[in-house]
Structure 1
Amino acid sequence: MIKALGLCLVFASLAAGTSQAQARPKSDDQCLGQAEVRDLVNQNAVLPPEVVLRKARATVGPGAKVLRALLCRREGQYVYRLTLLRRDGRVIHQVVSARPARSDAPR
């Protein structure tokens, strides 16, 4: 019982710290809403969130859980700002390009 309560307090403090850090994006970040993300994905302007999340989970480790995923415009480029929770309890922050691979790009 005490161990469970302790874990709850740890996760609550992590969540509070994460939400505060995420609430203050870089001054030049402009994060988008769900409708805007959906429109950009439909236009093939950005990768779908599920593709980016699958890759991020693979790099962070098996069993990683996504706590937050935001599509933002940073320095003229679209990026996903991700917060993941590893199985060992570590919170990982990643910024991943949202640019889709172009098959017509010069090689």
Structure 2
Amino acid sequence: MNFIKSINRNTGSQPVSNILPPTYYEGLRFRINLHSVDYIIRLVREDLYKGTRAIRILVDNVPRTIVKDSAGIWIFEGGTEITDVNFARAIWNSIALRYRI
């Protein structure tokens, strides 16, 4: 982060942390390919652990939330389509592998 601020000081532009909302987590991006379509996923919060029940994410810069239901299946909040279930599962698998949860 200090490196980014020092570069931005030299160019005169604002650092990324001043542009983004304070709840935004500047974490790793995830690229998921589902049904031959690429999606860019970015976490909105960083405090993830094995018992996490809801994850706020940006899907191609659109805020979404995936939640774990009582059966342990990840779904999009408000979504009922089967493709949403597969997509939410793919997102969770990618996050779990990256963060070793």
Fold equivalence (TM over 0.5): no
Bigger helix fraction: 1
Q: Which protein, 1 or 2, shows the higher relative CO under an 8 Å CA cutoff with sep ≥ 6?
A: 1
